[in-house]
Copies of this chain bind each other. A is one copy, B any other.
Amino acid sequence: MTATIKAIIETLTEGIEPIPNTVDKLEPGEPEAAVTGIVTTFAATRYVVERAIELGANLIVSHEGIYYSHRGGAEAWPNDPVCRAKAERIREAGLSIFRYHDYAHRRAPDLITEGLVEALGWAEYVEEHRPEAALLTIPPMGVREIAEHLRTKLGLSVVRAAGDLTQTCRRVGVLVGFRGGGSVAIPLFESGRLDLIVAGEGPEWETPEYVRDAVLQGGRKTLLTIGHAESEAPGMKRLAAMLQAKYPDVPVHFVADRPVFELL
């Protein structure tokens, strides 16, 4: 049984109140086209585009945009040769790309946060789901032990740590993507009575400097950042399994790119 792209999008957004001014959209794409295969991914990078073509998938469901900008499409840099070559390759391959960002985060619980918590094997420790974070009480673990757990479970080469590296943690906030920024993460330490925040990324002189100051003043707070893609890819991998269960006749693949940074 074939499914249309429109049907897939309806599945992705069903049960969620329409989100005004959302960045989620099908572009490019033909809603009525039959789906030959689906690739879910953190971001439709050129590598992911090529993998989708190799896999015979004509729909990419991408958490972040194609053109390196939260709100911008190809029109953000219309004369840029990188954007133009990528747009041309997507067009000639007949790929449809659905950005699945706001609706993924708006699910209850947030699909992306839930994916990360599950990938860490911590689902049973969640005590509260807030829109911006999952709040957990874990069995007591040292910061370095938690960092090793994150590296092992997510296949990371490194975790960036700020604040107290020696404390034993119980209360943990898990924040995906750019939610490591101060406006989200800083008040959460108090309101969630947190020892530790695990986040994707955020400006370096906000939350990291906050936890460092906290320690110098006798407090115990820690921030571990694992990377934006690294924090959100597990949710998109989880999505692939959900879509596969719902559409057993459609080949569904999760594709991860390599880490974007190398340390020199």
Chain A positions within 8 Å of B, measured between CB atoms, are 42-43, 45-47, 50, 64, 68-69, 77, 79-82, 85-86, 89, 143-144, 147-148, 151, 158-162, 165, 178, 182-183, 186-187, 190, 200-201, 203-210, 212-214, 216-217, 219, 221, 224-225, 227-229, 257, 260-264
**Interface contact A262-B161, CB-CB below 8 Å:** yes
In the bound complex, residues from chain B placing their C-beta under 8 Å from that of A183 are 69
Nearest chain B CB to A49's CB is how many angstroms away?
Answer: 9
In the assembled complex, the Cα of A183 lies from the Cα of B69 at a distance in Å of 8
In the bound complex, residues from chain B placing their C-beta under 8 Å from that of A186 are 68, 77, 80
**Interface contact A261-B69, CB-CB below 8 Å:** no
**Interface contact A262-B162, CB-CB below 8 Å:** yes
Given contacts A69-B182, A205-B229, A229-B205, contact A190 B81 (CB under 8 A): yes
**Interface contact A209-B79, CB-CB below 8 Å:** no
**Interface contact B217-A205, CB-CB below 8 Å:** no
